[in-house]
Amino acid sequence: MFKVMEFFRNLPKKKCSQCGLDMVEQADCYGNLCDECDHPAR
Ligand SMILES: [Zn+2]
């Protein structure tokens, strides 16, 4: 059986291009900004 966890662990971690915060991989992510930097109120 394919090791799914191994697969995800090998994925490169995304980092916010603005603050450098580690981001969780999201299906519909808005560019390379984390939730904080991408917040509409900011
Ligand atoms: Zn950020």
pLDDT tens for residues 1-42?
678 777 767 766 788 888 998 887 665 555 788 888 887 765
Instruction: Find the 22 Cα to ligand 1 centroid distance in Å.
Output: 8
Q: What pLDDT shows up at residue 14? A: 81
Taking the C-alpha atoms of residue 10 and residue 7, their distance in angstroms, rounded to an integer, is 5
> 24 lies in a domain?
yes
β-pair partners for 14 = 23
Instruction: For residue 25, give its domain range.
Output: 13-41
Answer whether 0.75 is exceeded by the pTM.
no
> 21 lies in a domain?
yes
Q: What pLDDT shows up at residue 34? A: 85
Instruction: Find the 21 Cα to ligand 1 centroid distance in Å.
Output: 6
**Contact present, 19 and 34 (Cβ < 8 Å):** yes
> 2 lies in a domain?
no
Total domains in the fold of the chain: 1
> 5 lies in a domain?
no
> 20 lies in a domain?
yes
Q: What pLDDT shows up at residue 40? A: 73
| Other Cβ atoms within 10 Å of 34 Cβ, number | 20
* 13 to 10, 20, 30, 41, 42: CA distances (angstroms): 9, 11, 15, 26, 24
> 36 lies in a domain?
yes
> 8 lies in a domain?
no
Residue in this structure with the two tokens 């580690």, named with its chain if needed: 22
Instruction: Find the 5 Cα to ligand 1 centroid distance in Å.
Output: 26
